[in-house]
Amino acid sequence: MILITGAGGNVGREVVKQALTLGLTVRATFQSPGAAAKAPAGLEGVIVDYAKPETIRSALHGVDRIFLVGPASRDLSALEARFIKEVRAAGRKHVVKLSALGGRESIFPSGHRDSEENIEDSGLPYTFLRPNGFMQNLVNYHAGTIRSQNTFYGCQGNGAVSLVDIRDIATVAVIVLAATGHEGKSYTLTGGEALTNGRIAEKISQVAGCKISYVDLPPADFKKAILSAGTPEWSAEAMLDLHRFYRGGKASRVTDDVERLLGRKPITFDQFVRDYAFAFRDEKREAS
């Protein structure tokens, strides 16, 4: 039995989908009843809140392997530590943790590194998946202004990033969860090429039906914009720091971990924009 946490989220949802397709026995955890209600039919879903140990204990019953996803928040390592404490008490289970590329070099990955260190110290068998930024961030964070203003914004300058497709992360996760031999390993998951946001804008333009531009803002202006869109202060600061990391070219590294694990090249950004073209097109823009 594999426990897939964060099953209502971007990565967890895709891991569940691919694990079910392969016929694996899966239990999925959702924090919110709203997310659980949208789960695929036939899936065994349970409500787990990492801050409530009693919800974790019953979810672990009969489980051998766990895909651990935590929220990208200030509490990430503390919440995951509470979860790991319960896992330890329940026996020796292999934890596949969704982490992030970057180690101590930026705020978001540093929170993940705290959690990795706690898992290393726990004595549990583990595997760390450290993806670079997701291609799907362009849909989740930028498709709104791409459709309404033909523009997306950031402050990463000309820093190129080897974005990775969530579908590849999920395929790697399912392989690691379904096989042996990955204990104690860390995989850095990137796409096959590093692209600047200028190049990304050109590639989205090819499917959006008009020219899409990337506008690079001064960091203070970018922070003001994301705060006014409702991003909490800590997350806005962490986002700014991530763009600083990107600006310095620190996330442009291309690894071969995805190709080695999947036996094929990673999904390209060109393929990603074709598959998600619907998200970047605007009916009103196309009609005018």
Ligand X SMILES: NC(=O)c1ccc[n+]([C@@H]2O[C@H](COP(=O)([O-])OP(=O)(O)OC[C@H]3O[C@@H](n4cnc5c(N)ncnc54)[C@H](OP(=O)(O)O)[C@@H]3O)[C@@H](O)[C@H]2O)c1
Positions in the binding site for ligand X (CB under 6 A): 6, 8-12, 30-32, 35, 48-51, 69-72, 79, 98, 100, 108, 131, 133-134, 137
Q: Per-residue b/e over 182-201, b at no fewer than 16 CB within 10 Å?
A: beeeebbbbbbbbbbbeebb
CA distances from 42 to 62, 134, 211 (A): 18, 28, 43
CB 204, min distance to ligand X, A: 17
DSSP string, 196-230: -HHHHHHHHHHHHSS--EEEEPPHHHHHHHHHHTT
Q: Nearer Cβ to ligand X, position 150 or 164?
A: 164
CB 234, min distance to ligand X, A: 13
CB 187, min distance to ligand X, A: 13
* CA atoms of 77 and 62, how far apart (whole Å): 25
Closest CA to 156 of 142, 136, 140, 167: 142
CB 284, min distance to ligand X, A: 28
Residue 192, token pair as written in the block: 């096959």
In this chain, which residue has its C-beta nearest to ligand X? 9
Q: Nearer Cβ to ligand X, position 45 or 212?
A: 45
Instruction: Give the start-end residues of each E strand in 52-92.
Output: 65-68
CB 98, min distance to ligand X, A: 5
Q: Nearer Cβ to ligand X, position 56 or 201?
A: 56
